């Protein structure tokens, strides 16, 4: 029982409370990654959208309260490997490669434009 209580305390301490609009944007970005048919490249290895999104979500969890905005998520969590420092990349179906940071910032602009139009 003590281990379960310890784990619950660690999870609660790590949990981040972000402003709702920012969490909505981050969740949308993660869904864009997950639903993408592109290839995500991390430290030379290739991953599908589902695995890439799971990895980014895990990194976001461990980033905790230091990530409060979608831009902080992109720049501080989703753009490069903490292990190697290498930038993450994305390769579209046509073979074009670009930094994941650039792709995510472009997707965020689409999300924000849609949110503005809805107001």
Mean pLDDT by 10 residues, the chain (119 residues): 53 68 98 97 98 98 96 97 97 97 98 84
Angle, CA 61 vertex, CA 105 and CA 91 arms, to 5° = 40
| pLDDT given at position 1 | 54
| pLDDT given at position 53 | 98
Write down the pTM of the prediction: 0.84
| pLDDT given at position 11 | 47
> Is residue 26 within 8 Å of 73, Cβ to Cβ?
yes
| pLDDT given at position 117 | 80
| pLDDT given at position 65 | 94
């Amino acid at each position: 029982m003590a281990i379960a209580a310890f784990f619950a305390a660690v999870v609660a301490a790590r949990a981040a409370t972000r402003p709702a609009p920012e969490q909505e944007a981050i969740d949308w970005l993660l869904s864009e990654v997950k639903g993408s048919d592109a290839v995500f490249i991390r430290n030379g290895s290739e991953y599908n959208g589902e695995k890439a999104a799971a990895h980014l979500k895990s990194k976001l969890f461990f980033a905790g309260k230091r990530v409060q905005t979608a831009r902080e998520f992109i720049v501080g969590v989703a753009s490069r490997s903490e292990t190697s420092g290498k930038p993450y990349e994305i390769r579209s179906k046509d073979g074009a490669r670009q930094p994941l940071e650039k792709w995510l910032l472009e997707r965020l602009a689409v999300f924000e434009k849609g949110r503005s139009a809805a107001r």
